[in-house]
Chains A and B, each alone.
Chain A
Amino acid sequence: MDFELTKEQSMIRKMVRDFAEDVIRPRAVEMDINAEFPQDIFEQMGELGLLGIPFPEKYGGSGGDTLSYAIAVEEIGRICGGTGLSYAAAVSLGASPIYYFGTEEQKEKYLTPLAQGKSLGAFGLTEPNAGSDAGGTKTTAVEDGNDYIINGEKCFITNASFAKTIIVTAVTGKNDSGKNIISAIIVPTDTEGVTITSNYDKMGVRASDTAEVVLENVRVPKENLLGDPQKGFKQFLYTLDGGRISIAALGLGIAQASLEKALEYAKERKQFNQPISNFQAIQFKLADMSMEVELARNMVYKSAWLKDQNKPFTKESAYAKLYATETAFRAANQAIQIHGGYGYMREYEVERYLRDAKLLEIGEGTSEIQRLVIARQLGC
């Protein structure tokens, strides 16, 4: 057992922390108010190699591991949940599937610019009537000569308005037992028939772009199909397993930020002639928060480590996602409580943490779905 980070991992933590403190922190409140996606910040993150951490150098990546990537998401999430969500979605959902399942040509053409941070990726799975139940996908991709013609509608797609490519899931046929075959297809956003609108007024993660994607007779070459045409569903389950680690890391970052703010405030705020951190009621809250943050961290890092060791991590990444995101919500809620009336005000930031954390219990598999995944792994 070795709980030490490597030198590279701790250098990455320091670099990302410094970057997030210097560049993102001064703008976090404004970006939340204006629901403004920080494109320039993503350009800088691209230049620093953050968008390519878990991909090899030959595809424009940095050759880091999943744990380094999780640490980077944690550090960005500690400062801004919205930026963290767009970052996690770009890497885990927009780029990773191409790395896992793409052909050599697809990796060169599509993964490289994503890993270099020259363009941003997105993943379109959710539809108005297919959320938790991805099997209910209605979007279709029909073969026509050398092309697919795609029709359908995707909703709540992170980064879509700023993406050059969206990986879209669509029904491509039926298997022998009559079930739909769902495949993932790379769709360049400038293809005719793709309409992207971003009109959602969100509760939280407001710095992140979320858009609706309508696909009307969108024609893409067959070679844009990702991976095995028969195993699309299995492939995106694997993609989501990986994505869970990053959402868990984001939850960890928000939980850590909540703890830090609450602790600092509790030591400064005086009521009844003493710092409120002298009161056992406050101390117990802080003790619980601190313990849960550390437990979440252990689970997040362990699931990243399992993935790096090529060991099964489906159950552990579900544990991590479920526990870290629910910890984030609880910690943010307690941070507001400890701040009293001030915590309810935007400028103290803890109310934003709560709004941001709420999304993490929904996106990339709701808490209920995580419990389902775990129960299935238990053999239920």
Chain B
Amino acid sequence: MNIYVLLKKTFDTEEKIVVSNGQIEDDGAEFIINPYDEYAVEEAIKQRDAHGGEVTVVTVGDEDSEKQLRTALAMGADKAVLINTEDDLEEGDQFTTTKILEAFFEDKEVDLILAGNVAIDEASGQVGPRLAERLGMPYVTTITSLEIDGDTVNVEKDVEGDVEKVLTSLPLLVTCQQGLNDPRYPSLPGIMKAKKKPLEELEIDDLDLDEDELEPKTKTVDIFLPPEKEAGRVLEGEVEDQVKELVSLLKNESKVL
């Protein structure tokens, strides 16, 4: 099977994030594999081990994304592709990424593409489905179980806490949800071997794309941190008075009514 994983480098949202001049500060931010993409890598390795074939991890990113790709290789992926847009693109959105990936997949024989359910930075959850649409293959999002038997695929999908069972076929694109598996730690021998595994670097030129075609369709107006949570307040007195006070506070102080 030819298995591909779409992987994104994101900043670690559990670490401190600093925003200045409407931009997230890169210096000092910790970068990780988007956690949902880790499920995708793990699932890809498992499916390959069960059915044979090869796992290729693909990222659209910059030079530093190599670290996340190497980590996926250390976990057990076979090959990695870095589509480096650092020098060519000022900005991009889900449209840009999808367009680049579409060009990348144009000449590829694909059985299965796995992506994360969302990236924890922008959390749009769009790249997977949009790519499937462009490639004309079926897709299932937020999967929690994947069983492949020949060309037949049984998928369980998380729908707001309930499970939906989907019967579909290869080639297929899925996006992975928490609960699908427990991503492994890259082992020491894995880390040492990752150094020797192939990592191909491409630029948009190599995909016959140019800057103009990739202009984002959305505009980022502002980036800001959520306001600091303030201390709560407990109202006291008779219930009736409390309700009156609450309504008045909602109207006059926080102005939500």
Contact = CB atoms under 8 A, between A and B. Distances in A.
Given A7-B66, A7-B67, A12 B185 contact: no
A18 interface: yes
B232 interface: no
B191 A8 contact: yes
B67 A12 contact: no
Nearest to A49: B188
A18 B183 CA distance: 12
Given A18-B185, A48-B185, A64 B192 contact: yes
B92 interface: no
Nearest to A12: B191
A49 B185 CA distance: 11
A52 interface: yes
Contact of B188 (A7, A10, A18, A53): A53
Interface in A1-50: 7-8, 10-12, 14-15, 18-19, 47-50
B9 interface: no
B187 A11 contact: no
A10 B189 contact: no
B191 A11 contact: yes
Nearest to A48: B187
A136 interface: no
Which secondary structure characterizes the binding site on chain A? Answer: helix
A57 interface: yes
A150 B67 CA distance: 52
Interface in B74-125: 74
A310 B190 CA distance: 26
B157 interface: no
B67 A11 contact: yes
Contacts of A8: 191-192, 194-195
B185 A11 contact: no
A19 B184 CA distance: 10
Interface in A47-74: 47-50, 52-53, 57, 62-64
Given A7-B66, A7-B70, A10-B67, A15 B191 contact: yes
A15 B72 CA distance: 12
Contacts of B175: none
Nearest to B67: A7
B186 interface: yes
Nearest to A50: B188
B188 A62 contact: yes
Given A8-B195, A63-B192, A64-B192, A15 B185 contact: yes
B71 interface: yes
Contacts of B188: 12, 15, 48-50, 52-53, 62, 64
Contacts of B71: 11, 14
A50 B187 CA distance: 8
Q: How many B residues are at the interface, by size bracket? A: 10 to 19
Interface residues of A, number: 19
Interface string B197-225: 00000000000000000000000000000
A11 B186 contact: yes
Contacts of A63: 189, 192
A14 B190 CA distance: 14
A234 to B, nearest CB: 31
Contacts of A14: 71
A47 B184 CA distance: 11
A65 to B, nearest CB: 10
A63 B189 CA distance: 8
Nearest to B75: A15
Interface in B49-70: 66-67, 70
B70 A62 contact: no
Contacts of A62: 187-189, 191-192
Nearest to A51: B188
A47 B195 CA distance: 20
B68 to A, nearest CB: 10
Contacts of A11: 67, 70-71, 74, 186, 191, 194
Contact of B189 (A7, A18, A19, A49): A49
A9 to B, nearest CB: 9
Interface in B19-73: 66-67, 70-71
B216 to A, nearest CB: 31
B133 to A, nearest CB: 35
Interface in A312-347: none
21 contacts: A7-B67, A7-B195, A8-B192, A10-B67, A11-B71, A11-B186, A11-B194, A12-B188, A12-B191, A15-B74, A15-B188, A15-B191, A49-B187, A50-B188, A53-B188, A57-B189, A62-B187, A62-B189, A62-B191, A63-B189, A64-B188
Interface of A: 7-8, 10-12, 14-15, 18-19, 47-50, 52-53, 57, 62-64
What are the 8 A-B residue pairs with the smallest beta carbon separation, nearest first? A49-B188, A62-B188, A48-B187, A49-B187, A49-B189, A11-B191, A15-B185, A62-B189
Given A18-B185, A64-B191, 12 more contacts: A7-B67, A8-B194, A8-B195, A11-B67, A11-B74, A12-B188, A15-B74, A15-B186, A49-B188, A49-B190, A62-B187, A63-B189
